[in-house]
Amino acid sequence: MRNIKYIVVHCTDTLSNAEVKAIQKYWKEHLKWKNPGYHYIIKANGEVEKLLDEKKPSNGVLGFNENCINICYIGGRTKDKKRVNTMTRAQENSLFDKIVALTEKYPGAEVKGHYEFPNQGGRICPNFNVKEWIKNYVPDLDQPDLD
Ligand SMILES: [Zn+2]
């Protein structure tokens, strides 16, 4: 069993409409990674796609991956190339739910933004303050089915 010490939030540093397939292709062909960058990726519509079993390390945080679960939202860049929080409400809800589920599964783990780790090449990923966001976040209540 891996010792999970960190649940780490990332962004893809792309526009919100980037395709998961294109991101995976970049990892494989450009970065030559054997494993994906993240365990979970969250699309603009809030859909969470699992890319790797939690038992295996992904490539999110150089030097720390053995102890990380990496979660990423697609986005982080605007059309004029600004690095900001571009999360949709659906992404925020899914990210929050995922973090809650993972902190229940790994009770000792600390939730961090990628930028909080040393020697990450000056990254500000996921382009917002994760601890502030969690503290202030008010999740939507589940909507009842209308049919
Ligand atoms: Zn990152």
What integer pLDDT is reported at residue 146 of this predicted model? 62
**pLDDT tens sequence for the chain (147 residues):** 899 999 999 999 999 999 999 999 999 999 999 999 999 999 999 999 999 999 999 999 999 999 999 999 999 999 999 999 999 999 999 999 999 999 999 999 999 999 999 999 989 999 999 999 999 998 877 666 665
What integer pLDDT is reported at residue 145 of this predicted model? 63
Q: Distance, CA 10 to ligand 1 centroid (Å)?
A: 4
Instruction: Take residue 44 and report the two structure tokens written for it.
Output: 């603009």
Q: Distance, CA 107 to ligand 1 centroid (Å)?
A: 22
Dist CA 135 CA 114 (whole Å) = 17
CA distances (Å), 86 to each of 14, 77, 81, 100, 142, in order? 10, 7, 12, 21, 23
Q: What is the CATH number of domain 6-136?
A: 3.40.80.10
Q: Distance, CA 114 to ligand 1 centroid (Å)?
A: 5
Q: Distance, CA 61 to ligand 1 centroid (Å)?
A: 7
What integer pLDDT is reported at residue 6 of this predicted model? 98
Q: Which of 100, 91, 96 is closest to 73 using CA atoms?
A: 91
